[in-house]
């Protein structure tokens, strides 16, 4: 671990020590964002159905919002260990999250959002992440710890007529705890196995009659779950530090000005993989993993991935920092509220990776550090009335990303990558030291006008139209220069077998993609009160994901010139249909919500391969059609103050409807070219140039997913303190899913269930002490499987956490 952040932990532990009943003061009345119950089994809805959400940019009860929405309270987040988006997916079944490192991270909802495993700065995320109304464009933000969070709303389906940045798949709306004019504080300290230490603290109170402040800090550290026998280090550790400060100025009734700033840092030795298996490809047998490993006298450290051993030999680093500042003004003007949100955010990424996934010096350096600055300005006016409610707004967004990439090969590369029938395969100097320098830059500007109205035709019927007009402009730079081990440039058109072998690894290229486009989105929702606590709605939405530009290279044509026709990618076009019911029963002790949906996408943005540019190299382009459909159910029951339970489930059928030029799975790759195609996994046969995967499932999507939990409590006294003992269980299940964009027999991940348990005592004065076990049954599972390049048949993986356990102490005062 590069930094243990001991100072932060000690400071937080000190704060916790002072958070005793003797010094506790009366807590203020909870705000709307704090009305969820303390029970960690909370379904996101209180027993009387009065949980307030801001999904439609105004305060409403969750049961009155005609949107498929899951709400997770801050207490549930803390008590279940769901301290980032990756862990949040265990509580929200239709949320999928995958991450091989912070940059290669993405959140999908209902199978949509970002192409699985595809990292390209030139395309947009389909799931918007918002923190206190500020849009976070970098998916890396989803790997950081939640900091002083009051509640999280996961909105499913397009939200472009409500939110500043267009979101085609959904939005994750995070609300943090706000400054208060009554003194309050929170402190939490957790210790566990694997050296796990997490400390959190927050303090809030008045600085004057009109000025209040809040300061929060969080620190997380844990030993790595993998042991690297090459370095002798435990890797894939956690090392996070987060700070957030807010000032609230209320100079008059109806006017709030909030200045906020945050800084988050991660510095782990991460992210490594383990050997999982091999599978035969159509490459010649002497060029597959077993033969190549034997030729280089290499034997992997363990063939059992759950030994959690690796021998990767390149340096690893996932160090990055993210933060920014925002100014939010809320002003009651006339019958509504005018809100202005001005924000700047940055992200600095300093990675080092092992891109050959072995203990051999094939790729010895792989790093693509980048720096991002983002500026946003949103202005909106929202009004709630008896006959008409509406929100209208304008949004401006500018993003700048600069990347400096470097990839270098080592002495084992020649033997691994060059056909052994070529004598150059036995000359390490051919590829040793071969280096590619990649310079990339992106300028991304978006302007939008959006609005949504709710016309209450009768007390029961509401008609809700929405509209969005969007303009996007993007320009970029891609420049790759290649040098051999002697520092000499490797140029296109160079002659000789040595240069040909080097150009087969790295090809120099330079181009400047750019484009601009206008798009129109609209939606219509009808909702109807069928009876007391029974609500139905239906929605149609026509929306888009903006066009993209290729920032990772395009094919060269037959003359070696970049195929500039491939530098831009058409926008995705979506038609979305949804219907649902929301109901409460048994004096609102029970809640049942059901939604059904279908989304049809044309021009789906994905990695494709075709011969239209005189090459079969993969590049980012458009697949013809994708569809996702299914249903979701949320059930919660609180039969008494002693018992609280929830069950959430989803069925998701997400498939490529027409994708005829997709990359082939590994069992159909690596062979020669010819009219006669060999059977999958038959060495030495011909492979298709591209594959038709129409009808097959989208990657990362489980057809069935569940989350469930129960908590029971019993009033009692302990050491003279009144309170309650409680026991809780939270579980999640997801069925099998594909971990490769083109489904492969080698990369399906079997379904699995994870179970978390806790047992504790909390007092009426705000103290809470509990022990917990996560993945209680020590289920071996994968977070992802990887298919390294080269068609050698190697499959590596990221294994999920083993059983972990610990003790948490919390106090509120």
Percent of the chain with pLDDT over 90: 77
Cβ atoms of 444 and 428 within 8 Å: the answer is no
Average pLDDT over residues 158-176: 91
Cβ atoms of 96 and 139 within 8 Å: the answer is no
| Cα-only R_g, the chain | 27
Kindly indicate the confidence band of residue 289, based on its pLDDT and cuts at 50, 70 and 90. very high
Q: Looking at the predicted structure, is the pLDDT value of residue 730 above 50?
A: yes
pLDDT score at 50: 64
Count, in order, helices (H) and strands (E) of the chain.
6, 43
Higher pLDDT, 333 or 46: 333
Cβ atoms of 755 and 781 within 8 Å: the answer is no
Q: Which of 14-28, 43-57, 94-108, 785-799 has the lowest mean pLDDT?
A: 14-28
Let me know if 675 is exposed, middle or buried by CB neighbors in 10 A (0-12, 13-18, 19+).
exposed
Higher pLDDT, 29 or 807: 807
How many CA within 13 A on the CB side of residue 525?
28
CA distance 718 to 39: 19
Q: Are strands 197-206 and 748-749 parallel, antiparallel or unpaired?
A: unpaired
pLDDT score at 464: 97
Average pLDDT over residues 256-275: 96
Per-residue pLDDT tens for 464-501? Answer: 999 999 999 999 999 999 999 999 999 988 999 999 99
Higher pLDDT, 145 or 526: 526
pLDDT score at 17: 37
Higher pLDDT, 106 or 275: 275
Kindly indicate the confidence band of residue 101, based on its pLDDT and cuts at 50, 70 and 90. confident
Q: Are strands 226-228 and 309-310 parallel, antiparallel or unpaired?
A: parallel
pLDDT score at 4: 43
Torsion 147-153-157-162 (CA) sign: negative
CA distance 806 to 758: 10
Q: Looking at the predicted structure, is the pLDDT value of residue 763 above 60?
A: yes
Write a three-state SS string for 67-115. Answer: CEEEEEEHHHHHHHCCCCHHHHCCCCCCEEEEECCCCCEEEEECCECCC
Question: What is the phi-psi region of residue 662: left when phi exceeds 0, alpha when psi lies from -120 to 50, beta otherwise?
Answer: beta
Torsion 374-379-385-388 (CA) sign: negative
Higher pLDDT, 107 or 599: 599
Average pLDDT over residues 729-749: 95
pLDDT score at 46: 38
Residues whose CB is less than 8 angstroms from the CB of residue 513 and which lie 6 or more positions away in sequence, other chains included: 122, 474, 475, 476, 478, 549, 550, 551, 564, 567, 568
**Phi, psi angles (nearest 5°) of residue 20:** -105, 160
Per-residue pLDDT tens for 276-285? Answer: 999 999 999 9
Cβ atoms of 533 and 486 within 8 Å: the answer is no
pLDDT score at 118: 64
Q: Looking at the predicted structure, is the pLDDT value of residue 143 above 60?
A: yes
pLDDT score at 307: 98
pLDDT score at 8: 40
CA distance 668 to 785: 18
Looking at the DSSP bridge assignments, the partners of residue 654 are 628
CATH superfamily of 6-812: TonB-dependent receptor, beta-barrel domain (2.40.170.20)
737: its two tokens: 């899913």
pLDDT score at 117: 63
Average pLDDT over residues 159-166: 89
Nearest-CA neighbor of 269 among 233, 322, 311, 220? 233
Per-residue pLDDT tens for 412-451? Answer: 999 999 999 999 999 999 999 999 999 999 999 999 999 9
pLDDT score at 64: 87
784: its two tokens: 């992802």
Nearest-CA neighbor of 502 among 421, 412, 433, 405? 433
CA distance 603 to 661: 13
Per-residue pLDDT tens for 71-97? Answer: 888 888 877 777 778 778 888 888 888
Percent of the chain with pLDDT over 70: 92
Write out the H or E segment, with its range, that includes residue 452: strand 435-456
pTM, two decimals, is: 0.91
pLDDT score at 618: 58
- Sheet with strand 68-73: strands edge to edge: 68-73, 149-156, 170-176, 127-131, 134-136
Average pLDDT over residues 555-563: 73
Q: Looking at the predicted structure, is the pLDDT value of residue 37 above 50?
A: no
Scanning the structure block, which residue is given the tokens 């094939």? 362
Looking at the DSSP bridge assignments, the partners of residue 96 are 108
pLDDT score at 609: 61
CA distance 198 to 193: 12
Kindly indicate the confidence band of residue 14, based on its pLDDT and cuts at 50, 70 and 90. very low
Scanning the structure block, which residue is given the tokens 């504080």? 185
Cβ atoms of 603 and 628 within 8 Å: the answer is no
Kindly indicate the confidence band of residue 114, based on its pLDDT and cuts at 50, 70 and 90. confident
pLDDT score at 681: 97
* Domain ranges for the chain: 6-812
Kindly indicate the confidence band of residue 3, based on its pLDDT and cuts at 50, 70 and 90. very low
Nearest-CA neighbor of 608 among 683, 544, 548, 560? 548
Residues whose CB is less than 8 angstroms from the CB of residue 600 and which lie 6 or more positions away in sequence, other chains included: 574, 575, 576, 625, 626, 627, 657
Q: Looking at the predicted structure, is the pLDDT value of residue 25 above 60?
A: no
Average pLDDT over residues 711-737: 95
């Amino acid at each position: 671990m590069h930094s243990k952040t001991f100072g932060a932990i000690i400071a937080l532990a000190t704060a916790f020590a002072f958070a005793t009943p003797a010094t506790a003061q009366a807590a203020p009345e909870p705000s709307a964002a704090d009305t969820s119950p303390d029970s960690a089994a909370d379904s996101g809805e209180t027993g009387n159905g009065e949980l307030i959400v801001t999904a439609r940019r105004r305060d409403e009860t969750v049961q009155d919002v005609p949107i498929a929405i899951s709400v997770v309270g801050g207490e549930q987040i803390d008590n279940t260990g769901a301290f980032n988006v990756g862990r949040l997916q265990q509580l929200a079944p239709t949320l999928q999250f995958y991450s091989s490192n912070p940059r290669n991270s993405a959140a999908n909802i209902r199978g949509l959002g970002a192409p699985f495993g595809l990292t390209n700065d030139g395309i947009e995320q389909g799931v918007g992440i918002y923190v206190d109304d500020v849009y976070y464009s970098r998916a890396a933000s989803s790997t950081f710890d939640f900091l002083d969070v009051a509640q999280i709303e996961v909105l499913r389906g397009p939200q472009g007529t409500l939110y500043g940045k267009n979101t085609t798949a959904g939005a994750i709306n995070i609300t943090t705890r706000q400054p208060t004019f009554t003194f309050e504080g929170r402190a939490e300290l957790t210790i566990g196995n694997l050296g796990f230490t997490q400390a959190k603290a927050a303090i809030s109170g008045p600085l004057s009659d009109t000025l209040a402040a809040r300061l929060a800090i969080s620190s997380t550290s844990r030993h790595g779950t993998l042991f690297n026998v090459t370095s002798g280090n435990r890797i894939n550790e956690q090392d996070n530090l987060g700070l957030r400060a807010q000032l609230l100025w209320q100079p008059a009734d109806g006017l709030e000005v909030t200045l906020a700033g945050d800084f988050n840092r991660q510095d782990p030795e991460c992210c490594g993989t383990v050997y999982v298996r091999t599978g035969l490809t159509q490459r010649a047998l002497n060029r597959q993993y077993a033969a190549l490993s034997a030729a280089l006298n290499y034997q992997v450290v363990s063939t059992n991935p759950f030994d959690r051993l690796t021998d990767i030999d390149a340096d690893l680093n996932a160090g990055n920092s993210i933060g920014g500042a925002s100014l939010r003004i809320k002003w009651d003007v006339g019958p509504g509220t005018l809100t202005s949100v001005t924000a700047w955010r940055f992200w600095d990424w300093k990675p080092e990776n092992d891109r050959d996934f072995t203990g051999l010096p094939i790729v010895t350096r792989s790093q693509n550090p980048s720096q991002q600055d983002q500026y946003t300005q949103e202005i909106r006016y929202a009004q709630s009335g008896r006959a008409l409610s509406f929100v209208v707004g304008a949004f401006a967004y500018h993003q700048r990303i600069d990347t400096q990439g470097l990839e270098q090969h080592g002495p084992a590369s020649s033997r691994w990558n060059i056909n052994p029938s070529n004598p150059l395969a036995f000359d390490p100097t051919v590829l040793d030291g071969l280096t590619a320098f990649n310079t990339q830059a992106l300028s991304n500007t978006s302007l939008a006008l959006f609005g949504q109205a709710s016309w209450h035709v009768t007390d029961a019927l509401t008609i809700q139209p929405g509209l969005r007009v969007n303009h996007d402009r993007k320009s970029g730079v891609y420049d790759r220069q290649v040098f051999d081990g002697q520092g000499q440039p490797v140029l296109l058109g160079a002659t000789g077998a040595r240069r040909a072998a080097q150009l087969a690894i790295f090809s120099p290229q330079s181009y400047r993609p750019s484009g601009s486009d206008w798009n129109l989105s609209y939606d219509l929702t009808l909702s109807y009160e069928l009876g007391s606590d029974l609500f139905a709605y239906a929605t149609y939405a026509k929306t888009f994901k903006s066009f993209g530009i290729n920032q990772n290279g395009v094919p060269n044509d037959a003359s070696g010139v970049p195929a500039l026709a491939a530098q831009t990618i058409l926008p995705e076009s979506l038609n979305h249909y949804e219907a649902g019911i929301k109901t409460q029963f048994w004096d609102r002790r029970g809640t049942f919500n059901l939604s059904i949906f279908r989304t049809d996408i044309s021009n789906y943005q994905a990695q494709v391969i075709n011969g239209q540019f005189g090459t079969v190299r993969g590049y980012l382009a458009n697949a013809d059609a994708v569809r996702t459909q299914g249903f979701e159910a949320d059930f919660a029951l609180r039969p008494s103050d002693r018992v609280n339970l929830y069950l959430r489930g989803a069925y998701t059928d997400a498939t490529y409807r027409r994708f005829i030029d997709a990359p082939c799975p590994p069992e159909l790759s690596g062979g020669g070219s010819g009219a006669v195609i060999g059977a999958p996994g038959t060495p030495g046969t011909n492979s298709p140039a591209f594959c038709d995967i129409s009808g097959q499932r989208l990657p990362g999507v489980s057809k069935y997913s569940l989350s469930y939990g129960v908590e029971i409590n019993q009033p009692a006294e302990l050491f003279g303190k009144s309170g309650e003992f409680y026991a809780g269980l939270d579980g999640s299940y997801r069925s099998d899913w594909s971990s490769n964009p083109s489904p492969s027999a080698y990369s399906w991940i079997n379904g699995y269930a994870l179970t978390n348990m806790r047992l504790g005592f909390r007092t009426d004065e705000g103290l809470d002490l509990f022990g917990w076990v996560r993945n209680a049954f020590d289920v071996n599972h994968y977070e992802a499987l990887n298919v390294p390049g080269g068609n050698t048949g190697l499959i590596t993986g990221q294994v999920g956490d083993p059983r972990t356990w610990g003790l948490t102490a919390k106090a509120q005062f």
